[in-house]
Structure 1
Amino acid sequence: MKKILVVETNQATYGRRSEATGLWLGETTEFVLAVQAAGYQVDYVSPKGGYVPLDPRSMEYADQASIKLYQQTSFQQMALAHTLAPADVDPAAYVAIYYAGGHGVMWDFPANQGLRQIAEDIYRHGGYISSVCHGIAGLLNLYRPDGENLLQGKQVTGFTTGEEILAGKRRIVPFLNQEAVKIRGGYFVKKRPYVSFALRDGRLITGQNPFSARAVAQELLTALASVQ
């Protein structure tokens, strides 16, 4: 069975602030619906395993298909209540890894060694690494087999500084995606705020914002089809 690993956050607040955040629902559901329709099985992992909080605002933007998936008991159990911990994952079982976003990931994705090892193993064995929106935080500290940062010399995208300002979160996030990518030698590419946009550079596929999950899925499916 062809499998893709979806990574989600355990972080429920903006750092130590009481303001709620978490997974942006559509960034998981829209991606999952697309790859499952193409015949791929999906597993879910988070930095700590177990419970994944939802950003309450994301429910306002979820489409009918996403809500229908969210209402399924199996999805709630696997994707939100009982996600796998990194230690439970065998990287060899997956052809790709996908980092979903939501502001929470900025706190618990970058430094997680378990997730890093999984992603690097998948990439080393010919698999694809993908992300959408803030999910690019999970890519910042990954390294290629040659020892270079994964983003070095690569064209990537993620939630832009302009979008962060429009979201009103510019001053409370721990870093800015555009700056973090540039520091690591990557080339940050962007389109207009909140317009669907995804791009592929080799075996690295990234999407700009919450409205880009389907585009990331399509880029990934096209890439996987070309190697089968």
Structure 2
Amino acid sequence: MKKVLIVETNVAHYGNTDKPTGLWLGESVEFVADMQKANIAVDYVSPKGGFVPLDPRSMKYTTPEIMQVYETNDFIERGMCQTLKPSEVNPDDYFAIYYTGGHGVMWDFPDDQGLQKIAEAIYQKGGYLLSVCHGIAGLFNLTDAQGNYLIQNKQVTGFTTAEEIIAGKQNVVPFLNQAMATKRGAKFTKKRFYSEFAIQDGRLITGQNPFSAHAVAKRFLAEVQ
């Protein structure tokens, strides 16, 4: 049985500052919970492998479901402490790759060539590209066989400029997701800030913000079940 590969960040600070960031917990474990209910196995990868830091702010938005997954030995070991390196991943084992968010991903997702090769291989063989919130950063530099950006002319969503301003991080992040997606030729779609929203364009499914992980999973499961 093929699996879903979940991508998480290794970045613990906003750029060169001492302000902490990392994985937004719910964006990983809510999706994992949905995969578990559907009996779909997952693996975890990060650009450097190993430890994944948590954005401390994400712990303010936990639910019983989030904590149930977070406190399992499996997630602690494989999802936070011993994530795979890209070099340890065989794309043939997966029928989807899911990019989680948290501001940290803006520094280590876009230019990681190992992750890019994995994602492009999965997509080229009929698999799905999934992202939520800032995880869209992992899609920005993916290209097709002709060298075109994969998101060009595709409908996508991600953490919006308005949401970044509300979060107070617009002057700290290296780019704005909405602007970058538009620059890559994508058709950026959004709903009201911090509203659950996911959009699908073929085998590309993206979610707008931290409250959209379940929406991404729901669209994906509707395709593959």
Q: Could you say whether these structures have the same fold, taking a TM-score greater than 0.5 normalized by the shorter chain as the test?
A: yes
Write the distance in 2 (CA, Å) between the matches of 1:2 and 1:200.
Answer: 21
Name the Cα RMSD after superposition: 0.6
1:167: which partner in 2?
167
Instruction: Write the letter of the residue equivalent to 1:223.
Output: E
**Number of residue pairs matched?**
225
Q: Give the distance between the partners of 2:144 and 2:130, measured in 1 at CA.
A: 14
1:146-181 alpha-carbon deviations (Å, 9 max, x no partner): 321011000000000000000010110000001100
Mapped pair 1:223 → 2:223 = yes
> Which residue of 1 is the match for residue 211 of structure 2?
211
Match of 1:15 in 2: 15
Q: Which residue number corresponds to residue 46 of structure 1?
A: 46
* AA aligned opposite 1:147: G
1:12 and 1:20 in contact (8 A); partners too: yes
Aligned-pair CA distance for 1:2: 2.9
Q: Which residue of 1 aligns with 2:177?
A: 177
Superposition TM-score, scaled by structure 1 size: 0.97
- Partner amino acid, structure 1, of 2:112: N
Q: Which runs of 4+ in 1 moved over 2 A?
A: none
Distance 2:219 2:203 in 1: 10
- Give runs of aligned pairs for residues 50-129 of structure 1, distance below 5 A: 50-129=50-129
Q: Distance in 2 between matches of 1:224 and 1:48?
A: 30
TM normalised by structure 2 equals 0.99
Give the distance between the partners of 1:91 and 1:62, measured in 2 at CA. 31
Contact 1:2 1:39 in 2 (8 A): no
- Distance apart, 1:36 and its partner CA: 1.5
- 2:201 is matched with which residue? 201
Identical residues among aligned pairs (%): 60
- Cα deviation for residue 84 of structure 1 reads 0.1
Q: Deviations over 1:32-51 (max 9, x none)?
A: 10011111000000000000
State the AA in 1 paired with 2:203. Answer: R
Q: Is the 8 A contact 1:12 1:53 kept in 2?
A: yes
Alignment gaps of 5+ in structure 1: none
User: Structure 1 counterpart of 2:2, which letter?
Assistant: K
**Hey, what's the Cα distance between the residues in 2 that align with 1:38 and 1:65?**
15
Aligned to 1:145: 145
1:197–1:215 contact (8 Å) kept in structure 2: yes
Cross-structure match for 2:4: 4
Work out the CA distance in 1 between the residues paired with 2:62 and 2:86: 28
